[in-house]
Chain A
Amino acid sequence: MSETSGPSGPPAAATGATIELEDLTKRYPGSAEPAVDSVNMEIKAGEIVIFVGPSGCGKSTTLKMINRLIEPTSGRIRIDGEDVTDIDPVKLRRKVGYAIQSSGLFPHMTVAQNIALVPRMIGWKKARITSRVEEMLDLVGLDPAEFHGRYPRQLSGGQQQRVGVARALAADPPVLLMDEPFGAVDPITRDHLQDELIRLQHELHKTIVFVTHDFDEAIKLGDRIAVLRERSHIAQFDTPEAILTNPADDFVSGFVGAGAALKRLNLTRVRDVEMADVPTVTVDDPLQRIFDKLRASGTNELLLLDKRHRPYKWLRRGDLMRARGSLARAGTLVHDTVTRDATLRDALEAVLTDNAGRVAVTGRRGEYLGVVDMETLMNSVHEMLEADRLDALEHQHELEEQRSRLTQHEQEGGSGEATA
């Protein structure tokens, strides 16, 4: 499908390319066992595939064989159908973005110079490079005017990592390889960077291969996850949902760790579940209307919205009486809301910490959309797990059928040859 428009070709964004690994093997001289043993994998254009596994399992080696930083001992690598196993590695690497842990920025160059490296190497015009640098900085959420001339050491770890990603994407490569890129930043920054990457990928649709040892990171980012065991043997290569609900073996379930159901909450967003509704009034409503609404609703609570329809206060029956009818004094302030894009895990966290066990959901400008409480959460989680289980079962059936068809075919073929 997606034609790799040459890097110096039209500015139309090159979207992802497929990657095929065929019997990819790396054997170091002097060791009996190969470090990576015959990896076969097909990565679709525009998907994020995560290699996850214990340290020393060869995931990083496998990644580095894709851009041939490590030359494979045997096997083929095909990008977008083109066999790149024997082409000039320098040429190959200019088509494949590469981002590494602790950013790998060159300390003696400014942010702009770092980002401009690859476009300069492939001979872009100066004006085009300048505008591209600004565009990339913008894309990764850094103000071009402010960061343009800074040196890497004048940036925080998270900012360096953003520039690292910007540099990797500068020449618009169809494929991006990321080797534990967020491994060296603090958990909060890592969370932000992960969100950013998801947002970027929504815009760019690159093919991303991402190595991590953090399974939670894998679930959060991956379209598909390859769980690797020693020598890069693929233990399971599937969607996060399938791996969580139906781990292939003990190794995978051990790696998934406890709390698969909890982790499943990370995969669903609030917008995907049914929200409850509570009666609302706004601060502009006359008191009488508020009383009427409370009486009519049959519930105990009202949500008071401010002028811009943002959740403001929870009002209970009796609150108004105690405050002698003054809205300013009545009720408890809403101190926590979640957005529609929050994960169910965030929502659960908010519900658990709320003293009445519910949390308001807000839209993009903070306006009220609905309410999530324990009950809605429980129901949707149950439904989700049930659906996952069914999917997994079906998937398994299919595989088994395929396998039995295959063996049948082989047997027939074998007997056919024997009689012929």
Chain B
Amino acid sequence: MNFWEYLGNRRQQLLADAFQHASAVFQCMVVATAIGVLIGVLTYRSQWAGNLATTVTSTILTIPSLAMIGLLIPVVGLGVAPTVTALTLYGLLPIVRNAIVGLRGVDPTLVDAAKGIGMSRLHRLVRIELPLAWPPILTGIRVSTQMLMGIAAIAAYASGPGLGNEIFRGIASLGSKNALNQVLAGTLGIIVLALLFDAVYVLIGRLTIPRGIRV
């Protein structure tokens, strides 16, 4: 059976895996974005708090993903829970860092002007600082998503969902007829998903970054 025949035969299974993969990454990204931006907003004003947040999140990133999931299994069990926890933790770093950098990068004279015309602290954050920091934050989200696409494949190790199952199955039956096809299908599937997500982000950027600050 060549690769194309394999794809045709296993279409149902592959599509279901791809959908679960995408859905896991998407949901984790939503959570990671919310938490990441929140951490950024809470810490960017203070030098040490901001640095601490960046350091902690980058330390998390240095833990090998397989080890992370392995460590999570005794705590949260098998299946979806360790996958979601690990993906969310990994997704934080680029978002937190870019949120802090973006918020700190807002021209201080603009913040001063906003204060000067009588905007409250919350108002300033929502109407001025976050919109101006949005382009770098969105970049962080993009980077995070690409990263999570790959890491999500490891989730199959903890019997999580996604295209990782295909790859692991292939590796387990190495030498058999379909091993290579399985690994190839899983890997290519992840690449295609990553490209699709990136295209969506370009579109989101177009729609959400105001024309006045679009480069």
Point out residues on A near B: beta carbons under 8 Å. 67, 69, 90-94, 96-98, 100-102, 104-110, 117-118, 121, 151-153, 167-168, 177
Tell me if B109 and A91 are in contact (CB < 8 A). no
Tell me if B132 and A121 are in contact (CB < 8 A). no
Tell me if B128 and A91 are in contact (CB < 8 A). no
**A104-B112 in contact given A93-B118, A94-B118, A118-B117 (Cβ < 8 Å):** yes
From the candidates B115, B132, B211, name the one contacting A93 in the complex (CB within 8 A). Answer: B115
Binary per-residue interface labels of chain B (190-215) against chain A in the complex, 1 for a CB within 8 Å, 0 otherwise? 00000000000000000000111100
Binary per-residue interface labels of chain B (86-116) against chain A in the complex, 1 for a CB within 8 Å, 0 otherwise? 0000000000000000000000011011111
Tell me if B116 and A67 are in contact (CB < 8 A). yes
The 10 closest A-B pairs by CB, nearest first: A104-B113, A151-B212, A93-B118, A98-B116, A94-B118, A108-B210, A107-B212, A108-B213, A108-B212, A108-B131
Q: List 10 A-B contacts (CB under 8 A).
A: A69-B115, A93-B116, A94-B118, A96-B118, A97-B117, A100-B116, A106-B114, A108-B131, A109-B210, A167-B117
* CB of B177 closer than 8 Å to a CB of A: no
Q: Kindly list chain A residues whose C-beta atoms are within 8 Å of the C-beta of B132.
A: 106-108
Dominant secondary structure of chain B at its interface with chain A: helix
Give CA–CA (A221, B153) in the complex, Å: 69
**Chain B, residue nearest A67 (CB):** B116
Total interface residues on B, using CB and 8 Å? 19
Tell me if A151 and B211 are in contact (CB < 8 A). yes
Give CA–CA (A37, B115) in the complex, Å: 24
Give CA–CA (A341, B114) in the complex, Å: 37
Give CA–CA (A4, B213) in the complex, Å: 38
Q: Kindly list chain A residues whose C-beta atoms are within 8 Å of the C-beta of B114.
A: 106
Q: Kindly list chain A residues whose C-beta atoms are within 8 Å of the C-beta of B117.
A: 93-94, 97-98, 117-118, 167-168
Q: Kindly list chain B residues whose C-beta atoms are within 8 Å of the C-beta of A92.
A: 118
Give CA–CA (A167, B128) in the complex, Å: 15
Q: Which of B42-80 contact A (CB under 8 A)?
A: none
Q: Kindly list chain B residues whose C-beta atoms are within 8 Å of the C-beta of A102.
A: 109
Tell me if B120 and A100 are in contact (CB < 8 A). no
Tell me if A100 and B112 are in contact (CB < 8 A). yes
Q: Kindly list chain B residues whose C-beta atoms are within 8 Å of the C-beta of A96.
A: 118
Known contacts A107-B132, A108-B131, then 12 further A-B pairs from the complex at CB < 8 Å, ordered by chain A residue: A93-B117, A98-B113, A100-B112, A100-B116, A101-B109, A106-B114, A107-B110, A108-B212, A109-B210, A118-B118, A151-B212, A167-B117
